[in-house]
Amino acid sequence: MKYLPELFAANTRWAEDMRAADPNFFAGLAGLQDPDYLWIGCSDSRVPANQITGLKPGEVFVHRNIANVVVHTDLNCLSVMQYAIDVLKVRHIIVCGHYGCGGVRAALEGPSLGLIDNWLRHIQDVRDRHMDFLAALPDNTTRWRALCELNVIEQVRNVARTTLVGDAWKRHQPLMLHAWIYGLEDGRLQDLQGSFNEEGEVDSVIAQAVAAVHSRYTTNQTIREKDAG
């Protein structure tokens, strides 16, 4: 018995459509695995890396987990990074979060969800570091949005602190890190001003990126208060 026949039928239609549009699509895809980019993103199926960047599947190497977290003891993520850096020789690592992230919301609001609470603890650490800033924001929706951004910035810092990236920079391998966020509501990517390509830039760029988040939300709140007055 074949389970989930509707998915196999959809796959057949998709394969036929792709072949009709480009008879060489699958032949080219089978021979293409030379990406310049490693994408570390959220497991949310609404954020497919190659589609939202307009890249072919073989042009981007992808690692995904809940809320795009980079933990220094996560051998899954580190193995992907090691292969991408040392074997594929990617030139860019993009940490991309998204607004409306359920993992970030759970970390912000703190309900107990079971085993995943241990994973979300890493995001709660980010929340706690910025507690004064977040508490001053007008509502939970705004806090959620801001924490999505701050989490991405913190995770790209974690990428920079890995021995994998540090060793690549020491041997002068071209490698730039980026902090991006994606809007589910409009399909647009936003650069969070967290890009750097050498160890000496990390702290200053991260500080500037965090300051930009704080400034943006503080300015927006001031504008709202003036409009209300």
Residues assigned a catalytic role? 42, 44, 46, 98, 101
Exposed / middle / buried, residue 139 (Cβ in 10 Å: 0-12, 13-18, 19+): exposed
Name residue, tokens 């589609």.
Answer: 51
- Pairwise CA distance, residues 149 & 213, whole Å: 7
How many other C-beta atoms lie within 10 A of the C-beta of residue 151?
A: 29
The letter for the amino acid at 52 is: I
Contact 196, 59 (CB under 8 A): no
Give the separation between CA 179 and CA 104, rounded to whole angstroms.
16
Phi/psi at 8 (5° precision): -65, -35
Closest by CA to 121, choosing from 81, 163, 176, 66, is 66
